[in-house]
Chains A and B, each alone.
Chain A
Amino acid sequence: MLPDFSYIQPETVKEAVDALTDDAVVCAGGSDLLGCMREGIITPARVVSLEALDQLKGITKTPEGGLAIGAMTTIADIAKNPLVNSMYPGLAQGARQVASPQLRNQGTIGGNLCQKPRCWYYRGEFDCLRKGGKLCYARRGQHQFHAIFGHDNLCYITHPSDTAPPLVSLNARVLVKGPEKNRTIPVAQLHVAPSFNPRAETVLEPKEIITRVVLPPVSENLKSSYRKVRARRAWDFALAGVALALEMDGDTVLDARVVLSGAAPIPWRSSAVEKTIIGHQLNRQTIAAAAAAVTKNAEPLEKNTYKTYLFEGMIEEELARFTPRDQE
């Protein structure tokens, strides 16, 4: 049951930002927000809809040769956009694996990056640490879906977004508009580790909104992908996922950004994997080393150790897709 709130639909970005009083919240597609309000996780007095802001919708080329994606662009539009598919296949694949067709039609990229976690204690009637309580229920409880990295022994959510890992791997940034100033934040620095603040998911100030996601130009050698393993084959978040952005010279990896989903409270950059493959030929040995490296420093809980092996298997399979056939 939704609580009482007022609803406004501003027509300019400035009006929207001005409308964001302390007890207000931004609504994009509403697909996550309404659920949170129904569960009493967010109880705003005012809901500021970005629906009417056409200037925040759509995908355009930037002067530098990258792409700018308006925050109100739907996940479905990103998934099918030809430029995204040709330049950033990793992002297109991530978008295609979000939720369900209905949710992809409704959900926006801005909302996807700012969505709340899916921990079932958080979503249920548990007054847990992230909701202002004292205790993380997942730690001792049912945490088979929870994080094995970066939880800081505080909060064990996995960041739910399937678009954030490819965006991080592709060096994307978000443009943010606030009441006083605008700023640009790399997506890699958008999300917040529990030790920094276990109650926040992003570094955004309450009155800031994301207006655009900007992707840098890509070189011809860049190969990107996103792979996701889930408990059922659709309409489900990642048990484990990996976004790869590899600069390749033939079969040699010049540079790599490897970002895991289903792993940590934030999109989790695996520098261990990156280190094992950068400067190496992507052959069986390298891949085996990379797979072994991925779970270095993992801190699984009792019921999610399977994730370490899952990440190993997935990295192995996914990297192998980038080896020329005759190498096999």
Chain B
Amino acid sequence: MAEQKNSYYTQGLSVPETPAPGEEPAFWKQTHVVGKRLPRVDAYERVSGAAVYPSDITLPNMIYGAVLRCPHPHANVTKVDVSRAKKMPGVRAVITGQTPEAKKLKWKYNDYSGPLFDTHCRFEGEAVAAVAADTHFQAWDAVRAIDVAYEVLPFVADHNKALSDDAPDIHDSGNLVGTDEYERGDVARGFDAADVVLEQEYHTQSELHTPMELHGCVAGWDKDRLTLWESTQGVYAVQSEIAEILNLPLSKVRVIGHYMGGGFGSKLKPGKYTVLAALLARQSGRPVKLILTREETYLCTGNRPASTMHLKAGVKKDGTLTACDFTCTGPSGAYPAGGTALVDWQIRDLYACDNVRCASKDVYINAGPARPFRAPGHPQASWALEQMMDDLADKIGMDPVALRLKNIPEISQGRNQPYTTTGLKQCIEKGAEQFGWKKAVERAKAHNQTDTHIKRGVGMGACVWFVGGGGPPSTVIIKLFRDGSVNLNMGASDIGTGTKTVMAMVAAEELGVAPEVIQIEHADTETTQYATPSGGSKTVPTESPTVRNAAIAVKRQLLEMASEDLNVPASDLDYEGAQIISRNDKNKRIKVTDVSRLKKRGVVVGVGYRGPNPPKKSVNPFAAQFCELAVNTKTGEMQILRFLSANDSGRVLDRLTYDNQVFGGIVMGIGFGMTEFRQLDARQTGRLCNRNWHDYKLPTALDVPVDMESLPIEIDDPEANNTGTKGLGEPVTIPTAAAIANALFMATGIRFTRAPVNPIEMRRHLTAKKEG
């Protein structure tokens, strides 16, 4: 029986050679599991509803938290009277800035630190008080019963007005968060050398993350030990911030985040709500569930900051870029939060150009602070740069694809060091070929000559992602049980990208076991190993090499154990299918599950660590995207007909989850380019207008094309890490909007410099074009 159930090597796969102790594993040449299309290991749980998300948690005696939030974009709290709220039925805890537990606590935004409850409220949605009660309803009734008085202050909601003289100061230091400057070469000389110089202003709107699962947590105390079930991208990140704020030893803060319903960067850290839940739980002596409403998440859990960009670029007739001069103003929101973070990276790094100058200004406005949003800064600059590239190509009579191919850099210019690999050229070249670029352009142009008001366009854009190489630290433990089944233990969160699945594939590949017998334990600071949060497209290149190292540690120990059974040194042994054999004497062999010490001990435990990245080299993913669309020039309606994304993200681990990222990235890019915008009532009250899913317009299934194609450009990258992987989740959404804008230009002859281009914007421009 045990024999039949034996799950080790059931597939009879050959297993990669085990490196000697101290040696690095060799690059996988041929793989058997990795690269295939494997459905998610937790698909059943997710689809059936068995998966428990933090919002699903209910605990015995659990009560519910709710937060009173400032309804003004800028105000001083002059009075908070909770006496009535405290007496309401079911109320068990009320916290304000005057509550002793809360009074000393600090809340940080980057390098800014202020009181947890600041009486100076700088954005709509700032927390003023919190309550916990037996039911959700009682908690909200109590919130409404709190008597607050505000002194309403003048506000500024527009980042372009933040630094003007008549804008109110949001902080004593003024409204400038900071500036960032970069220069290489000599921009003036670069422009002198150009045959064509163009300049243009571009705008992108603020976008809201809108993950399916709301932000929040359940907090419970066991004497002096806090447990948090948090919807998060990184349990260890939550642990360290909460421990610091509440002044607890790390060991006393347990954070669990097995399943989570999306974050897109907005859940890389805990929220103020996490601290409030912990305080309410401590005061009430009950576990407290505090899940925000959609409106609250729209106000205070981050956004992609808007941008106002100016780009001037010069090109020679042969297509050589001679200079780029880029400026950007963007808002952090009410606190320092990276309002222009990484916004110039495309300009610095993507295309070869000797003379580049970038300057950005991050400013305060009275709105919720930004948080990283899938590829922070990148889609913004891509919107500017990729449209500029097309304009330059147009002016010198060159094909947009050809112009980009003319300017492929040999090294990372932004960091002045080589990339381990760059697939920029192949992404553009092979992507164009697969898309049928030339034919599509001809077809669209011919179509537009005919007498129809439905015009067609094709467009493209390319990108590099700032990081995507991952790196230390990471620790993974793999346990191999005596029947050959495997337990993989890692701290990383699976934020919906399929982390668990691809890590199971890596372990399966290295150990030769079926992925189905691998059980994954993850995202729990008490029972799983340290990991940095899942973000920056770094989870695969960080964790997969670590998983491989852990598997190798298991294999090495098994060889040691088998050497006792076979009486040969471990260095003479390696794997052949399900067996360990002597290299010198093929008769000496033993089935892995027969190894005596394994049988006796019951388990082998392998620990893997993430090794360093290659010194003085950049590990970056690249992409190029192509789209075709139609525009109704009477009504301004648009339809995207197809999209192709060619991605160099190194080795593909699971083709299914890979393609999912690509399609999801395109969908999100369509949202950025065509449907989504945060609307503040900037001219009157400064408050948020669109607080729900009707007014905040995510793209629907009908807004995205059925025809989406993912074209992986796999280039061996043994230097990057031992699985040859690079990040994917962010490059897939960087050039999408810009590719759309370029296609719209071909269709209409209009340059859409302001995102998003919805039918309103389209119709406005069609009229302006006709009249102008």
Q: Which of A124, A236, A317 contacts B689 (CB 8 A)?
A: A124
Q: Encode A305-328 as 1/0 by CB contact (under 8 A) with B.
A: 111011011101100000000000
Within the complex, the shortest CB–CB distance from B744 to chain A, in Å, comes to 16
Closest to A313 in B: B634
A37 to chain B, nearest CB (A): 13
Does B675 lie within 8 Å of A232, measured CB to CB?
Answer: yes
Residue from B679, B685, B759 within 8 A of A310 (CB atoms):
B759
Is A181 close to B, CB under 8 A? Answer: no
Tell me the complex Cα distance, A124–B696, Å: 13
Distance of A124 Cα from B71 Cα, bound (Å): 11
Partner of A125, one of B137, B635, B687, B767: B687
Residues of chain B within 8 A (CB-CB) of A309 are 763, 766-767
Residues 124-139 of A, flagged 1 when their CB comes within 8 A of B and 0 if not, give 1110000000000100
> In angstroms, how far is the closest chain A Cβ from the Cβ of B66?
8
Most buried by A among B639, B758, B763: B763
Residue with the greatest number of chain A CB neighbours at <10 A, chosen from B136, B635, B675? B635
Residues of A contacting B695 in the complex (Cβ-Cβ under 8 angstroms): 120, 123
Contact indicator A125/B71 (Cβ below 8 Å): yes
B324 to chain A, nearest CB (A): 33
B517 within 8 A of A: no
Contact check, A141 vs B634: say whether CB atoms are below 8 A apart: no
Q: State whether the Cβ of B446 lies closer than 8 Å to any Cβ in chain A.
A: no
Known A141-B684, A310-B763: A316·B634 in contact at CB below 8 Å: yes
Known: A120-B689, A125-B71, A234-B702. A1 touches B140 (CB 8 A): yes
* Contact assessment for B635 and A142 in the assembled complex, using a CB-CB cutoff below 8 Å: no
- A:278-325 near B, CB below 8 Å: 305-307, 309-310, 312-314, 316-317
B634→A233 contact, CB < 8 A: no
Is B767 within 8 A of A124, CB to CB? Answer: no
Q: In residues 738-770 of chain B, which contact A (Cβ within 8 Å)?
A: 758-760, 763-764, 766-767
> Which residue of chain B lies nearest to A118 when distances are taken between CB atoms in the complex?
B694
CA gap between A241 and B327 in the complex, in Å: 41
Which A residues are CB-close (under 8 A) to B691? 120, 124
Please name the residue on chain A nearest to B633 by beta carbon: A313
Which residues 443-476 in B have Cβ within 8 Å of A in the complex? 453
Please give the distance in Å from A257's CB to the nearest CB on chain B: 21
Question: B1 at interface (Cβ–Cβ under 8 A)?
Answer: no
CA distance A124 to B674 in the complex (A): 24
A35 and chain B: residue at smallest CB distance: B692
| A7 surroundings in chain B (CB, below 8 A) | none
Is the CB–CB distance between B694 and A310 below 8 Å?
no
Among residues 103 to 130 in chain A, which have CB atoms less than 8 Å away from a CB atom of chain B? Answer: 118, 120-121, 123-126
Residues of A within 8 A of B633 (CB): 313
Question: In whole Å, how far is A117's beta carbon from the nearest beta carbon of chain B?
Answer: 12
Which residues of A from 19 to 50 have beta carbons under 8 Å from B? none
Closest to B144 in A: A1
Q: Is B690 an interface residue (CB 8 A)?
A: yes
B699 CB-CB contact with A under 8 Å: yes
0/1 interface trace, chain A 196-237, chain B, CB 8 Å (1 if under)? 000000000000000000000000000000000111111111
Residues of B within 8 A of A235 (CB): 694, 700
Considering the chains assembled together, what is the distance between the CA atoms of A192 and B639 in angstroms? 36
The CA of A310 and the CA of B684, in the complex, are separated in Å by 27
Quick one: which of A118, A233, A305, A316 has the most chain B CB within 10 A?
Answer: A233
Tell me, in angstroms, the Cα distance from A230 to B674 when the chains sit together.
Answer: 12
Whole-angstrom distance between the Cβ of B100 and the nearest chain A Cβ: 29
Tell me whether A239 and B694 are in contact (CB under 8 A). Answer: no
Among A120, A144, A234, A316, contact of B760 (Cβ-Cβ < 8 Å): A144
- Total residues of chain B contacting the partner, CB 8 A: 40
- CB-nearest residue of chain B to A231: B758
B634 proximity list for chain A (CB < 8 A): 312-314, 316-317
Tell me the residues in window 248-283 of chain A with beta carbons closer than 8 Å to chain B beta carbons: none
Query: Does B683 lie at the interface of the complex (its beta carbon under 8 Å from any beta carbon of A)?
Result: yes
Q: In the complex, what residues of B have CB within 8 A of residue A234's CB?
A: 700-703
A183 at interface, CB cutoff 8 A: no
Interface string of B333-375 (1 = CB under 8 A from A): 0000000000000000000000000000000000000000000
| B637 contacts A by Cβ under 8 Å | yes
Interface of B is mostly: loop
Does B636 lie within 8 Å of A137, measured CB to CB?
no
CA distance A144 to B691 in the complex (A): 16
The docked-state distance in angstroms from the alpha carbon of A86 to that of B416 is 69
B667-688 vs A, CB cutoff 8 Å, 1 = contact: the mask equals 0000000110001010111011
| B694 adjacent to A232 (CB under 8 Å) | no
Q: Which residue of A lies closest to B696 (CB)?
A: A120
- The answer, among A1, A142, A239, A313, for a CB contact under 8 Å with B679, is A142
A2 and B639 alpha carbons, distance in the complex (Å): 39
Contacts of B764 in A (CB 8 A): 305-306
Residues of B within 8 A of A2 (CB): 137
Query: Which residues does chain A contribute within 8 Å of B140, judged by CB atoms?
Result: 1
Chain B residue at minimum C-beta to C-beta distance from A302: B683
B763 touching A236, Cβ below 8 Å: no
Please name the residue on chain A nearest to B693 by beta carbon.
A235
Contacts of B685 in A (CB 8 A): 126, 137, 141
The answer to whether A229 and B681 touch (CB under 8 A), given A120-B690, A125-B71, A306-B760, is no
- B136: chain A residues at CB < 8 Å are 1
Query: Are A310 and B700 closer than 8 Å at their CB atoms?
Result: no
* B697 interfacial by beta-carbon distance below 8 Å: yes
Q: Are B759 and A239 in contact (CB under 8 A)?
A: yes
Chain A residues with Cβ below 8 Å from B758 are 231-232
Select which of B137, B453, B700, B763 is within 8 A of A306 by beta carbon.
B763
Give the residue name and chain of the A residue nearest to B634 (CB): A313
Whole-angstrom distance from the CB of B184 to the nearest CB of chain A?
42
- Which B residues are CB-close (under 8 A) to A233? 637, 639, 700, 702-703
Report Cα–Cα, A306/B759, bound state, in Å: 9
Q: Nearest Cβ in chain A — how far from B676, in angstroms?
A: 9
Q: Do B689 and A230 touch (CB < 8 A)?
A: no
Q: Which residue of B lies closest to A145 (CB)?
A: B760
Complex Cα spacing A72 to B687, Å:
37
Known: A144-B760, A229-B759, A309-B763. A124 touches B687 (CB 8 A): yes
Q: A309-B767, A314-B634 are in contact. Are A141 and B683 (CB under 8 A)?
A: yes
A314 to B675, CA, bound (A): 21
Q: Does A142 contact B681, Cβ atoms closer than 8 Å? A: yes
In whole angstroms, what is the CA distance A230 to B689 when docked? 18
Complex Cα spacing A293 to B766, Å: 19
- Residues of B within 8 Å of A229, CB to CB, are 635-637, 759
CA distance A307 to B681 in the complex (A): 21
Contact, CB under 8 Å: A236 / B694: yes
Chain B nearest CB, measured from A226 CB (Å) = 14
Contacts A125-B71, A125-B687, A313-B634 given; indicate if A232 touches B767 (C-beta within 8 A). Answer: no
Residue-wise interface mask of B (634-673) relative to A, using a CB-CB cutoff of 8 A (1 in contact, 0 not):
1111010000000000000000000000000000000000
Residues 693-714 (chain B) with a chain A CB within 8 angstroms: 694-695, 697, 699-703
Say how far A145's CB is from chain B's closest CB, in angstroms: 8
Question: B689, A142: Cβ atoms under 8 Å?
Answer: yes
Q: How far is the CA of A309 from the CA of B633 in the complex (A)?
A: 11
What is the distance, in angstroms, from A255's C-beta to the closest C-beta of chain B? 25
Chain B residues with CB below 8 A from A144, complex form:
760
28 contacts across the A-B interface (CB closer than 8 A): A1-B136, A118-B694, A120-B679, A120-B691, A120-B695, A124-B688, A137-B681, A141-B685, A142-B681, A142-B689, A232-B703, A232-B758, A233-B639, A234-B703, A235-B694, A240-B635, A306-B760, A306-B767, A309-B766, A310-B635, A310-B636, A310-B759, A313-B635, A313-B763, A316-B634, A317-B453, A317-B632, A317-B634
Residues on A lying within 8 angstroms of B by beta carbon are 1-2, 100, 118, 120-121, 123-126, 137, 140-142, 144, 229-237, 239-240, 305-307, 309-310, 312-314, 316-317
Closest 10 CB pairs of A and B: A313-B634, A233-B702, A234-B700, A1-B140, A234-B702, A306-B763, A120-B689, A306-B764, A309-B767, A229-B635
Beyond the given pairs A118-B694, A229-B636, A231-B760, 4 more chain A to chain B contacts, judged by CB atoms under 8 angstroms and listed by A's residue number, are A142-B681, A229-B759, A231-B758, A306-B763
